[in-house]
Amino acid sequence: MQKNNAKQVQLSHGGGGKEMNRLIKEIFFNAFDNPILRSEEDAAVLHFDGNLAFTTDSFTVAPLFFAGGDIGKLSIAGTVNDLAMMGAEPQYLSCSFIIEEGFAIESLKTIVSSMASELKKSSARIVCGDTKVVPKGCADGVFINTSGVGRILNSGISVKNLQLGDKIIVSRDVGRHGAAILMARESLALESELTSDCATLWPIVEQLIAANIDIHAMRDATRGGLSAVLNEWASASEVGIEVIEDAVPVCDAVKGLCELYGFEPFDLANEGTFILAVPDASVEATLEIMQRFCHCEQSAVIGQVTDTRQGKVVLQTPCGSQRYLDVPQGELLPRIC
Amino acid sequence: MQKNNAKQVQLSHGGGGKEMNRLIKEIFFNAFDNPILRSEEDAAVLHFDGNLAFTTDSFTVAPLFFAGGDIGKLSIAGTVNDLAMMGAEPQYLSCSFIIEEGFAIESLKTIVSSMASELKKSSARIVCGDTKVVPKGCADGVFINTSGVGRILNSGISVKNLQLGDKIIVSRDVGRHGAAILMARESLALESELTSDCATLWPIVEQLIAANIDIHAMRDATRGGLSAVLNEWASASEVGIEVIEDAVPVCDAVKGLCELYGFEPFDLANEGTFILAVPDASVEATLEIMQRFCHCEQSAVIGQVTDTRQGKVVLQTPCGSQRYLDVPQGELLPRIC
């Protein structure tokens, strides 16, 4: 009994007493160690001069482990990417765990070690945290919230800044994360080469900023996929967006799963795929930089900003017709991220 | 069926599409409205020159509604207090909801409205957020994470800054929040006058800072209560702390519940009660300011910093004996905050 208990998270690990202190020191401090975290104050003390970006995300993905990542990797990449998409250098993250009683300590360690690895892809550090444990049945495994702050290096990027003639670029093939989760959930072994695109995007964004690319808008296509981002842009910038359906890269495995389950690849969530709007003159330089990164080898222009059908996204289909690409609605996939 | 659905949170409310946009606009934006939140970017843009504090907290309290507060009030007061305890003005908060499918929209509105009311007690504003919906049975009602940033006005406050001769002051009677949750969970009607101490502490702290009180350490006594804070201080500052048991205010209702359930009032969580260490010369001015606030009328000196028994907290009992006040251990009350 005692032995078993030592391998699972107990309610006492969230009680604010000795057991919680031990869990935090042995698992979290060990993995995330840095001088700010070690200060033991109620809040981290940071220094900023200028504009910073501040963002938050809670992660409830099921299953916790999937092809190409896990909830730990996702929780770091997700918040780092939100900062990067604002042209901000990801610097400081908080991390807050809600853990179900009985959760395996080994799995918790694996998740935390994933977080630590993913943190190395940018200069982001975890500087404060919180741990709650809820009784068995009151949560499903582990939920993680990460919030983040970082200084803004490029302040021109905005959802409202799309301009007539801008070209729309996607960084890689779309729909992988959604399809990978679907595959994991349905235990489909067939599509074994399909992995989530889950990745930290800061290294690419850093290069784009360093090269002074005139980025008008930039967004990672998470829940709601490409469709949600393009519609948000068209609406916020009061422009039309025209997309060439055939120009959007989609891998065969994602196409196959979408046909099988009746999903639209453009609606599926991504976790390491982003979309840019840049003026025509910047397209070549943008693609040249992006294609240096192996997961962006397929980056491509997929459309442009127009002055017709303000607020709408129009898809040019391969058969020559046009249709609106709408904001996704309905249930899609729950617990995708 | 359709009518029922409209009254409950659906999985589609977390899908990243139309339904989520509507929920966010109608419920969250309406209640928390401010120009930064309305910007629609992936992250809030803030400006800072100097030192800021950054903190995070997830709230999983059960029941969601209790005497003296609810999870909404708690989620604002908790994070605002973490900033205040660092001598930082609470300015910007994130808020992230994990909602169980089927949760009543009316209850969600009540919680959000509680949050909006509590935000008015300081100048803190919610500037970014996130919403996840998990299938029925994968969470229990609602969990809320709030993270916060604020500029530091008094940078001398630290867990490592207790000095020999400092007096320890508690702001009010202890143990109320823990006792109120216990009462709500056990449906005890007897102790009907007992309410949680849940409150935003910034207005008091602001006055203490404005009066240039030389605060050495300050901490709200949340999980683990008075015992956890004093032990953390003794250990981090490498001093001894002596507490006069009889000097610590505890109301009769809390005493009664503790006797009934075998709890120690000093171990019980508080959510609007804080502890200060100030030099002897500042005690009078500190108490004079604190007692202007009705919930701090009972604020009192409860002990002092000594150079004996480094790292330990010693309780002087009413019968003249001494015992260690240790860090709480074991299960205490799960889902207290």
Beta carbons of B58 and A132 less than 8 Å apart: yes
Q: How far is B170 from chain A (nearest CA, A)?
A: 17
Q: B331 in contact with A at a CB cutoff of 8 Å?
A: yes
Average pLDDT score, chain B: 94
Instruction: Determine the pLDDT at residue B4.
Output: 53
- pLDDT single digits (tens) B158-171: 999 999 999 999 99
Cβ-based neighbour number of residue B322 at 10 Å: 11
Pick the range with the lowest mean pLDDT from A19-28, A186-195, A268-277: A186-195
Angle, vertex CA B135, rays to CA B129 and CA B140, nearest 5: 75
Q: In what order do the strands lie in the sheet with B167-170?
A: B217-220, B274-278, B167-170, B300-306, B240-244, B313-316, B322-324
- pLDDT single digits (tens) B69-122: 999 999 999 999 999 999 999 999 999 999 999 999 999 999 999 999 999 999
Q: B32 in contact with A at a CB cutoff of 8 Å?
A: no
Say if residue B214's pLDDT is above 70: yes
Instruction: Determine the pLDDT at residue B192.
Output: 66
Query: Which residues in A lie closer than 8 A to residue B58 (C-beta atoms)?
Result: 96-98, 130, 132, 145
Integer Cα distance of A250 and A272 in angstroms: 14
Domains, chain B: 2-151 (3.30.1330.10), 167-324 (3.90.650.10)
Instruction: Determine the pLDDT at residue B189.
Output: 65
Say if residue B3's pLDDT is above 80: no
Phi, psi torsion values for B258, nearest 5 degrees: -65, -40
Q: Could you give the percent of chain A with pLDDT greater than 70?
A: 97
Highest mean pLDDT among A14-23, A55-64, B12-21: A55-64
Q: A24 in contact with B at a CB cutoff of 8 Å?
A: no
A200-236 as b/e: b if 16+ CB within 10 A = bbbebbbebbeeebbbbbbbbbbbbbbbbbbbbbbbb
Query: Which residues in A lie closer than 8 A to residue B327 (C-beta atoms)?
Result: 17-18, 21
Nearest to A129 by CA among A24, A204, A266, A267: A24
Q: How far is A326 from chain B (nearest CA, A)?
A: 9
Q: A238 in contact with B at a CB cutoff of 8 Å?
A: no
Residues 283-302, chain B, touching A (beta carbon < 8 A): none
Q: A53 in contact with B at a CB cutoff of 8 Å?
A: yes
The residue-averaged pLDDT of B40-63 equals 95
Phi, psi torsion values for B75, nearest 5 degrees: -70, -25
Residues B53, A43 contacting (CB under 8 angstroms): yes
CA closest to A22 among chain B residues: B329
Q: A67 in contact with B at a CB cutoff of 8 Å?
A: no
Query: Which of the 8 DSSP states describes residue B132?
Result: E
Pick the range with the lowest mean pLDDT from A5-14, A73-82, B28-37, B266-275: A5-14
Nearest to B268 by CA among B208, B178, B189, B197: B178
Pick the range with the lowest mean pLDDT from A38-52, B43-57, B178-192, B274-288: B178-192
Residue type, B29: F
Confidence tier at B242 by pLDDT (50, 70, 90): very high
Selected residue of B19, B101, B138, B216 to mutate for chain A interface (largest A Cβ count, 10 A): B138
Q: B156 in contact with A at a CB cutoff of 8 Å?
A: no
Nearest to B76 by CA among B121, B107, B39: B121
Q: B45 in contact with A at a CB cutoff of 8 Å?
A: yes
Q: Could you give the percent of chain B with pLDDT greater than 70?
A: 97
Query: Which residues in A lie closer than 8 A to residue B145 (C-beta atoms)?
Result: 56, 58, 96, 145, 147
Beta carbons of A17 and B327 less than 8 Å apart: yes
Instruction: Determine the pLDDT at residue A188.
Output: 73
Q: How far is residue A106 from each of residues A4, A112, B86, measured CA to CA in Å?
A: 12, 10, 34
Q: A155 in contact with B at a CB cutoff of 8 Å?
A: yes
Q: How far is B133 from chain A (nearest CA, A)?
A: 7
- pLDDT single digits (tens) A105-162: 999 999 999 999 999 999 999 999 999 999 999 999 999 999 999 999 988 999 999 9
CA closest to B22 among chain A residues: A329
Say if residue A86's pLDDT is above 50: yes
Q: A116 in contact with B at a CB cutoff of 8 Å?
A: no
Beta carbons of A12 and B329 less than 8 Å apart: yes
Please compute, for residue B192, the number of CA atoms within 13 A of its CA located in the half-sphere on the CB side. Answer: 2
- pLDDT single digits (tens) B314-331: 999 999 999 999 999 887
Residues B42, A55 contacting (CB under 8 angstroms): yes
Query: Which residues in A lie closer than 8 A to residue B18 (C-beta atoms)?
Result: 327-329
**Which residue of A45, A101, A219 is in closest CB contact with B152?**
A45
Integer Cα distance of A164 and A193 in angstroms: 39
Confidence tier at A3 by pLDDT (50, 70, 90): very low
Strand-strand pairing, A65-66 and A92-100: unpaired
Selected residue of B32, B54, B83, B151 to mutate for chain A interface (largest A Cβ count, 10 A): B54
Residue B80, helix vs strand vs coil: helix
The residue-averaged pLDDT of B7-20 equals 92
Q: B322 in contact with A at a CB cutoff of 8 Å?
A: no
Query: Which residues in B lie closer than 8 A to residue A94 (C-beta atoms)?
Result: 54-56, 147
The residue-averaged pLDDT of A27-33 equals 95
Signed CA dihedral, B25, B26, B27, B31: sign only: positive
**Which residue of A15, A53, A147 is in closest CB contact with B328?**
A15
Q: A240 in contact with B at a CB cutoff of 8 Å?
A: no
Confidence tier at B155 by pLDDT (50, 70, 90): confident
A274 forms bridges with which residues in the sheet?
Answer: A220
Q: How far is A166 from chain B (nearest CA, A)?
A: 19
Nearest to A143 by CA among A90, A202, A98, A84: A98
**Which residue of B138, B159, B327 is in closest CB contact with A140?**
B138
Whether omega for the bond prior to residue A318 falls within 30 degrees of 0, making it cis, is no
The residue-averaged pLDDT of B269-298 equals 97
**Which residue of B17, B60, B335 is in closest CB contact with A327?**
B17
Q: A35 in contact with B at a CB cutoff of 8 Å?
A: no
Q: A213 in contact with B at a CB cutoff of 8 Å?
A: no
Q: A135 in contact with B at a CB cutoff of 8 Å?
A: yes
Top pLDDT among A328 and A198 is at A198
Q: How far is A91 from chain B (nearest CA, A)?
A: 12
Confidence tier at A333 by pLDDT (50, 70, 90): confident
Interface A-B, measured as beta-carbon pairs within 8 A, has a size of 281
